[in-house]
């Protein structure tokens, strides 16, 4: 009887080891390597900073390597197969996809523009820009894509009435404006915030356009998605939980922004967190056809073939829909 009891107890304990302990992805297997690209150190990349800092990649079985590649070059590196997932401007990704790249959008964290056309104090109005110079990071980058249609709306020909210059980083542009090496430039937050504090002038806030736009989007290649659907779903689980942590964990989020966004000033860190957590970051980063339609329309002003394309060609909602059906999203935001 004692032996039978001991045997039963052993079998029960073994069963608990096999079935009673919840499985944590990656806990009993090597982490899956994933190369995650991001194009700037601006606050628009906030969700991926928090995802990394909170070790959420590891939680979902991934060894997420964050790889910085400046601006439009990142999309080129992605197309070349050197990145697996990118978080970047949907506009920049769509520009490449319209031209034939095998990239699709899966999610979108921010749906408003976060850029301002910032000028030297000597520039008082759009008309003053005629004959002047305007800085962008690189031709084909988001800064370039948004400023050309704006100039045209002001009846300024981007090719004749102004000189567009590639400067490099956001900080380089702000410095060039302050030293009057250029007359204006396109700055994203928080560089635009710093610039205004030092006396530069916000000539136009692109957020005022009122259009829903895919500003911080998740992109993959169709080929990668076909071969690695489970990995993509794991990435999105981590990324979605990153949104939850960003919106609910102030201390961790400020630490992530300091580390990856290159912001040291405590006042700016606090201001940025408060602004983004209450008004800018979406709780659930679904991508909408409307935002992509708006992006294609904007691209169409300088890229005619974009006018002929449909939003459905460039998005895949099946990943987010699967996470919704499984109850994962509801588990984060019950």
User: pLDDT (tens digit, 0 to 9) for every residue of the chain, 334 residues total?
Assistant: 434 434 433 333 334 333 333 334 545 679 999 999 999 888 999 999 999 999 999 999 999 999 999 878 899 999 999 999 999 999 999 999 999 999 999 999 999 988 899 999 999 999 999 999 999 998 888 888 889 989 999 999 999 999 999 998 888 999 999 999 999 999 988 889 889 989 999 999 988 877 899 999 999 999 999 999 999 999 999 999 999 999 999 999 999 999 998 888 899 999 999 999 999 999 999 999 999 999 999 899 888 999 999 999 999 999 999 999 999 999 999 9
- Measured CA to CA, the distance from residue 130 to residue 152 in angstroms comes to 12
- Measured CA to CA, the distance from residue 233 to residue 218 in angstroms comes to 12
Query: Which H or E element spans position 49?
Result: helix 46-53
Q: Which fold has domain 32-111+213-332?
A: D-Maltodextrin-Binding Protein; domain 2 (3.40.190)
Nearest Cα to Cα of residue 112 among 208, 43, 247, 207:
207
- Measured CA to CA, the distance from residue 163 to residue 68 in angstroms comes to 28
pTM of the entire structure?
A: 0.82
In CATH terms, the superfamily for domain 115-209 is Periplasmic binding protein-like II (3.40.190.10)
What stretch(es) of the chain map to CATH 3.40.190.10? 32-111+213-332, 115-209
CA distances in angstroms from 217 to 91, 256, 272, listed in the order given:
9, 19, 20
- Measured CA to CA, the distance from residue 237 to residue 23 in angstroms comes to 15
């Amino acid at each position: 009887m004692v032996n039978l009891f001991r045997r039963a107890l052993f079998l029960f304990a073994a069963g608990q080891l096999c079935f009673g302990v919840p499985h944590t992805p990656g806990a009993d297997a090597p982490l899956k390597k994933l190369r995650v690209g991001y194009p700037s150190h601006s606050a628009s990349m906030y969700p991926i900073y928090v995802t990394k800092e909170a070790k959420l990649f590891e939680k979902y079985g991934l060894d997420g390597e964050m790889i910085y590649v400046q601006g439009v070059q990142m999309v080129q590196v992605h197309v070349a197969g050197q990145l697996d997932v990118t978080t970047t401007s949907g506009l920049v990704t769509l520009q490449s996809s319209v031209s034939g790249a095998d990239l699709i959008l899966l999610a979108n964290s921010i749906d408003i523009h976060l850029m301002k056309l910032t000028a030297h104090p000597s520039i008082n109005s759009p008309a003053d820009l005629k004959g002047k110079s305007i800085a962008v990071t690189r031709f084909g980058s988001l800064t370039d894509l948004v400023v050309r249609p704006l100039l045209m709306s002001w009846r300024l020909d981007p090719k004749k009435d102004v000189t567009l210059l590639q400067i490099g980083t956001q900080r380089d542009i702000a410095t060039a404006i302050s030293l009057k090496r250029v007359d204006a430039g396109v700055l994203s937050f928080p560089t635009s915030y710093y610039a205004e504090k030092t006396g530069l002038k916000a000539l136009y806030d692109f957020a005022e356009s009122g259009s829903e736009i895919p500003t911080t989007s998740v992109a993959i290649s169709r080929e990668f998605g076909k071969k690695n659907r489970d990995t993509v779903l794991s990435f999105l689980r981590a990324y979605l939980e990153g949104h939850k942590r960003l919106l609910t964990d102030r201390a961790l989020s400020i630490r992530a922004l300091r580390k990856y966004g290159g912001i040291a000033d405590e006042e700016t860190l606090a201001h940025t967190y408060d602004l983004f957590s209450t008004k800018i970051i979406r709780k659930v980063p679904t991508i909408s056809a409307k935002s992509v339609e708006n992006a294609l329309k904007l691209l169409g002003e300088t890229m005619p073939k974009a006018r002929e394309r449909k939003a459905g060609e460039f998005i895949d909602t099946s990943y987010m829909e699967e996470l919704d059906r499984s109850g994962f999203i509801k588990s984060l935001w019950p």
